[in-house]
Structure 1
Amino acid sequence: MIQAQATPTTEAVLTLTDLAFVRNARDILSDINLTIRAGEHWALIGANGAGKSTILSMCGANEHPTRGTVHVLGQQLGRVDMRELRRSIGHVNPRHPLTSSLTIEQVVLTGATGTIEWVPRWHPEAETVERARELIALLGLEGKEHATWPTMSQGERGRALIARSLLSNPSLLLLDEPSTGLDVAAREQYLTTLDELHRSRPELATVLVTHHLEELPESTTHAALITDGRISAQGPVTEVLTTQLVTECFAYPIAISYHDGRWQARAAAGTMSK
């Protein structure tokens, strides 16, 4: 297994040690060891059902491991108030289950309450509103503050959710298949937004789950390949996303290419004729 070459002096934001997770007597995760440090931008990649989302749920303090330990922002799961810890973690889920017609500004402000819907009779402080507006501008939504959730495009929703997740100024940002439902133009705009975010917040650590290498921002620094609930390779992204390792991860011949900071995966030559 390729191990991440992290700088020892860089603060560890997230550490998974000898992690295992069992559900309904079935091993979902086994022997997971992963350290993510401030300023690193990780991608978790693997086939459907490999365990990526379960790992992300541990990172987000939404699940306890069956065995092993999880330290998030210096706190060990099982020895800390999970709800309180989650307030310090930014989590972007494109399937955000909002049902009311909140404006972009209101959606972002719900990051202060940690709720999906607007809290009745809650009035945010002026400095919170100002920060929300700064984030809306940073994410390229300035002038659209009053657009409502039902009328927003999927790309606008995605950027609004990033702004929402950043309202509490987290040290860790989790992105669960953030390009879901985006057309190619919206996807490219979204990836550009992530790259700009990484440049503006160099200390921010991010973990992105995806099935598609084409959906990785240029600023991705590290990757982990997940195979049948185990990490089959991890480390600097250019060392992990190779034809050999990705082919082994998906048990299918996949040719990997890298050009101008972006990745591409396609069936290896001659595969269809076999």
Structure 2
Amino acid sequence: MDDANTEPRTHRAVVELAGVGVHRYTTGQVILDGIDWAVRAGEHWALLGANGAGKTSLLRLIGAMGHPTVGTVEVLGERLGRVDVRELRARIGLVSTAQPVPLRETAHTVVLTGATGTVQPLWKNYDAATRERAALLLAEMECEELADRPFGVCSGGQKARVLLARALMSDPALLLLDEPFNALDLPSREDLIDAMWRLAAGRPDLATITVTHHLEELSPAIGHVMLLRGGRALARGPAGEVLTGDRLTECFGRPIEVTRHDGRWLARSGRAEQAGPFASRG
């Protein structure tokens, strides 16, 4: 009997990377090198690192938007290079402020486009059940009052929650969040963190990977973290073991102090020339 078919759903890997490297063909520059990583159903990961560490390149591989130069990438049981990436992308939810969406259409219509994975709505593809699902997802994100508002006039925080609802339209097993807190003010950030916390509680099999620059943007649902530096995995594992002052100091190249309160993280940095790293707390 095939072990993969008998393994409990909540233990199955939805992402598996082995010896993954990405090299820029024109210059030979190494973007990613020797990445081994597994993300299992129900796990919530954060991907942290300085600008240029390789976070975006790694997320592109997992989102089936690129291929590795070396190594293997398997997403939702499919290996890149052996699968139609268009079909695979339809099974992956993505939230990014860089996503093209129809700004003049209503928030409800933007969510509907998640059902077809298109920029513009394909009206003949949306039956009554699909329209109802879009409305329910807006309600789940606590922004149902935005249903008839043009997406382009929504605030940054409102747009982020609408895009999260859009990403859920296909009922994905894997959700990728590429700097979803970009340019959000404090109340909007907290609204989105609350939405992601509720999402994790309500969908126990959903796996998420969040790329961010700030520890205070991590919801209490984040249980695992990978630190990238120079295209390599500096550390990965349970958040409490990875998010230490010593490891973040090594990752970002300056002294960092880490604290935790009620499941939320905070990182503070002293002057770069200060001798010795801060101690990790919490």
> Shorter-normalised TM-score: what interval?
over 0.9
1:82 and 2:85 matched: yes
Note the aligned Cα RMSD (angstroms). 1.6
Alignment of 1:138-153 (within 5 A): 138-153=140-155
Runs (4+) of structure 1 moved beyond 4 Å? 270-274
Q: Contact (CA 8 Å) 2:9, 2:41: kept in 1 or not?
A: no
The CA distance in 1 between the partners of 2:118 and 2:199, in whole Å, is 23
Residue 45 of structure 1 corresponds to 48
The CA distance in 2 between the partners of 1:56 and 1:222, in whole Å, is 16
| Unaligned ranges ≥5, structure 2 | 1-7, 276-282
* Structure 2 letter corresponding to 1:189: D
Q: Contact (CA 8 Å) 1:100, 1:117: kept in 2 or not?
A: no
Listed one character per residue, the Cα deviations across residues 88-138 of structure 1 (whole Å, up to 9, x for unaligned) are 00000122223540101100000111112223x534011111111111110
TM-score calculated relative to the size of structure 1:
0.93
1:141 Cα shift?
1.1
1:167 and 2:161 matched: no
Residue of 227, 230, 252 corresponding to 1:228: 230
1:202 Cα shift?
1.0
Residue 251 of structure 1 corresponds to 253
Residue 242 of structure 1 corresponds to 244
Residue 4 of structure 2 corresponds to none
* Structure 1 letter corresponding to 2:15: L
The CA distance in 1 between the partners of 2:186 and 2:202, in whole Å, is 24
**Greater RCO structure (CA 8 Å; 6+ sep):** 1
Residue 3 of structure 1 corresponds to none
Give the total of aligned pairs.
266
Listed one character per residue, the Cα deviations across residues 127-169 of structure 1 (whole Å, up to 9, x for unaligned) are 1111111111101012221011121011111001111100000
Q: Contact (CA 8 Å) 2:9, 2:205: kept in 1 or not?
A: no
The CA distance in 2 between the partners of 1:258 and 1:79, in whole Å, is 43
| Unaligned ranges ≥5, structure 1 | 1-6
1:155 and 2:151 matched: no
TM-score calculated relative to the size of structure 2:
0.91
1:212 and 2:214 matched: yes
Give % identity: 47
